[in-house]
Structure 1
Amino acid sequence: MKRLIAIVFVLPSLLLAQHTINGVFSPAKDYKVVLLYKATPTMSKYIKNAEIKNDGSFQFQLDSTLTKGIYKIVYAIPQEDYNFDVIYNGKEDIELDFNPERGVVFLKSFENKLLSSYSKSMSKVTQSIRNFYSKESPDTTALKTIFKIQRETQNSFENAAKGTIVLEFIKANKPYIPKTFVTAEVYLEGLKTHYFDSIDFNNKTLQSSNLLEEKMLNYVFGVTSKTKDEITNYKDNIDAFCMVMKSTSPEVKRILLVDLWQQMADLGKEEVANYISETYLMDIAVSLNDQKLLHKLILYKDLSMGNEAPDFSFQIVENGKTITRKLSELKGYKNYIIVFWSTTCTHCLDEIPQLYAYYKTLASGSTQIIAIALEEEESQWKALKLNYPEFIHVYGKGKWDNDIVGRYAVVSTPTYYILDTNKHIISKPEDVDALKEWFGKK
């Protein structure tokens, strides 16, 4: 009976047994809150958040209901850019230190520390290989010894990680290791050819982590060819990457390729972004019936350089009469500038006067500016537009819900488009200074 009573009291405490994730962020003043998510191949589930104290410390209490796997710690927005992975095996506490310049350092947790140790050890060996080739040493025995050390290091960490989650990452990071001496050219070609050999794109653990994304970006942006231009090189690398993950689910392909597409779009590589879209992503969006993604891809392509700007109507006064005109109907100018602005936007109130002053320096009759004001109500706009009498003023009723906003994918003000005489998009300067620079180079 005494034993039974003891079990009754001990069992609840076992069920509620907890582990913790403790950490310190520095500099502490830059952080307020940290969020914890459980990652899956296609989404991340919110678990909880914790306050970051004045000394930069935080703590997550992990109850027994949390399953082992990959967790993400988010420390800023946008969340997809400011996070890092944590391996949680359900058996140990985790302690870490984070600094944005250095990254995350794990102070406690066998699996996370083992992965860090593996990365550092393999990095040192890789550096030795680079040093050997850079010195153009004739000592072939020395290189074969380095390869032997690399092979033994890989095997040693795989053996140490048996039965753990981290083993999946150590195996996936296994590099190309020649069995004998090879020249630098052969070695580099081998690295490229065998880059994805050890990666299982259908592995749920890897799909839940940042590893596949990191490998994709490192390959696409890192593998170069002296015989190809940049655009061709990117396209060939993208084709090679998509080939090795061809058996992966469309959901996972979508996540990876949308990220790559966004990277190219952010870098202004429109031709490459549209290549990803037209060759791969649009078909994936159709197969998943993802209309939102499909619309985004089509809109981006339509607004790419060289395409005709989306048409829209506006009212102007001619000969004392108010008439409706279309952008496509405007004639007689070498260039047209479309600027989206707002009377409630402080950047706009600074840049629009600069734009007008610069416009006055351009050759008479060479350029026409169409200023589209995104407003909730028009009283302030009616007063301010009088300061710029030579602009064509368009009242963007409804602000962000205005139809023209959607056609031009406007997400912030001011936004600029420069068109040629036939209304083709020829530049999308990020601010008024970039606009001046573009005209100055003509």
Structure 2
Amino acid sequence: MKKILLLSGMMTALSIHAQFSVTIQAPEGFKENDAILYTLNGSKDIIVTKEQKKNNIWTFKYPKAYSGMMKAYFPNTNSAVSFISENKNVNIKLDADGSKVKDIIYLDDANILMSSIQELSQKKEVILPALSQIKEYYKDNTDFGKALKVEIGRLTGSDIAEASKFPFVSYYNTNYNKYLSTENTKKVSQDDIVNFIDKSNDMLETSSLLRPILVAYLNNGGNTNVTASVDKLLDRLKVETPRGQTVLSELIDIFDVYDMSEFKSKYLTLAKGLKCTITDRLASTLKSNANVELGAVFPNYKFQSAVNTTAKSIHDVKADKKIIIFWSSTCSHCENELPQLLAKYKELQAKNVQVIGLSLDVDKSSYTSKIAAFPWINDSELKGWNSSYSETYNVHATPTYFILDANNKIISKPEHVGNVLEYFNAK
């Protein structure tokens, strides 16, 4: 299967425009030197470039036209700043305490407006219902009643007129309200969603709306009609097209996240069988899944600061079998399952089975405290879902288990700790 780099039609058509810049100012004490700029394709962050701080400022030059969501990630402090681009300069100021970002101050008009709309939307969902109930107990001619009326009017108002000056802000909020707002989702049919996905401009891929709209689409069709719903959508989009392949990739990931293995297998097989050129987006999904297929050699991982071992990598660990666990100290299922594995650890050791835990933690103290109870090999990048694990090993949830043989081939992918123990007759 051949892979090529594909630029969207809008990117190509508008590339003659002058580049824009993203400027992020940090206070003097912010303990970070590097920053990585990302754009978005569906639900996947795409690395653009990496810059170093100069005079407490990061400046990214973006050479092409781009309207949509962006992110700057600070790897050493594991913090991130999200913002939008209207294909114009972006200016952001950080308020930080040491390595911790306390506040994000948007200085350009598009991000100021987007932030304001997002804040208003949250208040509508949380505060407006309560205010509407309280209003029933106060007359409109009282001071408090008048104040309530003003605030309810403000929260039920709309910034759409101002948003119309900004194409991406308008696109995002119009379509979020239409397809994802609880007030409107019941009014939208599957045909409406299919038409929108088919006819939308390229901002669909950069908006972060695609995956939630696909989930809404599947829910709209019901659990008994998943195949019919997906086939209807893919028939319209055509999987030979960039959008069809992005949607196919997103659907495969959705089925993975929701443990819908039958549907994941069906559409992953479809993706593998494509004879046309494929996009980077779909290629990454295929590679991530191929890495962890039964019988595949588990991709090696060089330990960062592993404990309970002198081995330098997963492949350096010598054992007849290895149990790989992707987990987190904040994961409630891990809290329940890992003690069960701990209770059988000596029995597993006697069978020359080694356990390797790779944590998707962020907080070092929480991670360190938790692994004190786990005598097996433990390591973490301390980058949460920004770690390399999620893409390399197709990890969408914790805990995720793999069992490897002595040659590091994947011989089982248990769903739960009970399946792990059953595999080794350790229940």
Query: 1 or 2 for the larger relative contact order (CA 8 Å, sep ≥6)?
Result: 2
TM-score, normalization by structure 2: 0.48
TM-score, normalization by structure 1: 0.47
Larger Rg computed on CA atoms: 1
